[in-house]
């Protein structure tokens, strides 16, 4: 029997953690759920909406998803807490899917806690369908003679891809998805979807929500751009590994435990990195997304050594885009690769460049002293001039290899 004092102590500890201390909404939501459990009160979606979010009694869950979205995000925050700051806690708080009541569980010594994943049955089914989709499309692509000249299955000594294809551990292909919000129009019984380039994850939403003129809420699903999907198809074709060895996740669903369990390849724009953005300094990269979109390379002293201005909007005109490609060693000797651009044209061209069988040969023209050892770690910037997903000109404007 877990007493109320222990439950409140665990609540207080979580509330002081980095994932909750700056988030009033989720701290208050967790407190409300814990106190309801202690009082023996059964919690429903409508009671949360009225008592915590101050909705009126006419609240209609079918039209307003604020409670469901908040619960999904709260589960993610709890999962992240117990994987990081709270990994040694002897008491954990769980919120079983499909309900709103918390459960307290004691972790027995020698029984490590495995973090419950937040993917619902629907998301799991969609992921499976997407993997099948990738497999079918990859097969069709390989039948295309033109593509055969470009896309190559990995050879054993390929410096870029063999660390993934020959690994005994799976590889997680992380697709950069866009964060969206919505605004409810109750009189018209509809919702308007909103994309703000300044807000690219839940943390930025919480930080800037006080500046909104309207009542915007985070949307319960995200959006993948076509270049990301096509790049994923191209990469999966190059790797040529089975669906059991190739896992697919959206960046918004990525957990820190994934870095311990698999190799990681991120493909997307700088606006859809989510957790991966926190790792950019280790890739000697810094990004800016305020008045000007920029990639900044960092030197050994963490000072900016070079700056690349990125296109701010996907315009129907010829644009100059830049893509960063970095590959380094991650946790548990896994390999982490980031392919991030300003827009679709840079991303599509970057993936096509490193997927080419000629890439290792072409790279020798940039740096004749390259040592293609295994593992092969590097960072590079590719400049692309093009329109939408078609590059007209491309150039490797920066390259540096690393021994570790």
pLDDT at 110 over 60: no
Q: What pLDDT does 18 receive?
A: 79
Distance CA 290, CA 205 (A): 14
Residue 188, pLDDT score = 62
Give this prediction's pTM.
0.65
3-state secondary structure 179-210: CCEEEEECCCCEEEEECCCCCCCHHHHHHHHH
Of the spans 135-139, 164-168, 368-372, which averages the highest pLDDT?
164-168
The string of pLDDT tens digits covering residues 25-62 is: 889 999 999 999 999 998 999 999 999 988 888 888 87
What average pLDDT does this structure show over 347-363?
Answer: 90
Q: Are strands 217-218 and 263-269 parallel, antiparallel or unpaired?
A: unpaired
Would you say 135 and 127 are in contact if contact means Cβ atoms under 8 Å apart? no
- The DSSP call for residue 317 is S
Report pLDDT for 291: 67
The domain ranges of the chain are: 4-106, 161-179+222-402, 180-218
**Over the chain, what is the mean pLDDT?**
82
> What band does 113 get if pLDDT is binned at 50, 70 and 90?
very low
pLDDT value for 137: 55
Q: Which residues pair with 265 in a beta bridge?
A: 173, 337
Nearest residue to 257 (alpha-carbon basis) of 72, 392, 112, 110:
112
What pLDDT does residue 201 have? 80
Cβ–Cβ < 8 Å for 185, 192: yes
* 112 has a pLDDT exceeding 90: no
CB atoms within 10 A of CB 332: 11
Please check whether residue 396 is in contact with residue 346, taking contact to mean a CB–CB distance below 8 angstroms.
no
User: Are 190 and 143 in contact, with CB atoms under 8 Å apart?
Assistant: no
CA 92 to chain centre: 25
75-102 pLDDT, tens per residue? 888 877 887 788 889 999 999 888 899 9
Residues in the chain: 404
- How many other C-beta atoms lie within 10 A of the C-beta of residue 115? 16
pLDDT band at 241; cut points 50, 70, 90: low
Report pLDDT for 88.
85
Alpha-helical (H) ranges within 24-174 are: 24-38, 45-51, 66-83, 121-143, 145-148, 162-165
Structure tokens at 275: 């957790």
């Amino acid at each position: 029997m877990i007493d109320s004092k222990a439950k409140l102590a665990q609540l207080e500890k979580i509330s002081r953690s980095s994932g909750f201390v700056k988030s009033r909404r989720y701290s208050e939501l967790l407190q409300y759920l814990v106190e309801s459990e202690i009082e023996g009160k059964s919690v429903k979606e409508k009671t949360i909406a009225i008592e915590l979010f101050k909705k009126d009694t006419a609240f209609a869950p079918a039209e307003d998803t604020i409670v469901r979205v908040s619960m999904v995000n709260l589960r993610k925050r709890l999962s992240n807490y117990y994987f990081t700051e709270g990994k040694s806690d002897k008491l954990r708080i769980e919120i079983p899917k499909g309900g709103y009541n918390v459960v307290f569980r004691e972790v027995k010594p020698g029984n490590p806690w495995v973090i419950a994943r937040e993917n619902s049955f629907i998301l799991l089914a969609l992921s499976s369908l997407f993997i099948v989709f990738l497999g079918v499309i990859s097969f069709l692509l390989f039948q295309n003679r033109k593509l055969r000249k470009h896309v190559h299955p990995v050879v054993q000594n390929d410096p870029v891809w063999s660390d993934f294809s020959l690994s005994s551990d799976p590889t997680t292909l992380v697709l950069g998805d866009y964060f969206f919000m919505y605004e409810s129009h109750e009189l018209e019984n509809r919702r308007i979807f909103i994309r703000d380039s300044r807000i690219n994850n839940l943390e930025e939403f919480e930080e800037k929500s006080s500046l909104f003129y309207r009542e915007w809420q985070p949307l319960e699903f995200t959006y993948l751009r076509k270049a990301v999907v096509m790049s994923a198809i191209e990469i999966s074709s190059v790797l040529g590994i089975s669906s059991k060895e190739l896992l697919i996740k959206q960046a918004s669903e990525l957990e820190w435990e994934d870095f311990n369990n698999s190799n990681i390849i991120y493909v997307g724009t700088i606006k859809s990195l989510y957790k991966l953005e926190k790792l950019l300094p280790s890739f000697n990269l810094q990004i800016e997304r305020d008045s000007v979109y920029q990639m900044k390379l960092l030197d050994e002293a963490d000072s900016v050594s070079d700056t690349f201005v990125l296109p701010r909007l996907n315009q129907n005109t010829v644009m100059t885009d830049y893509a960063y490609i970095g590959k380094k060693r991650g946790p548990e000797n896994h390999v982490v690769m980031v392919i991030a651009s300003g827009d679709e044209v840079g991303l599509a061209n970057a993936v096509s460049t490193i997927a080419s069988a000629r890439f290792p040969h072409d790279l020798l023209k940039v740096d004749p002293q390259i040592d293609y050892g295994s593992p092969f770690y590097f960072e590079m910037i590719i400049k692309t001039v093009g329109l939408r997903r078609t590059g007209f000109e491309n150039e490797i404007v920066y390259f540096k290899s690393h021994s570790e």
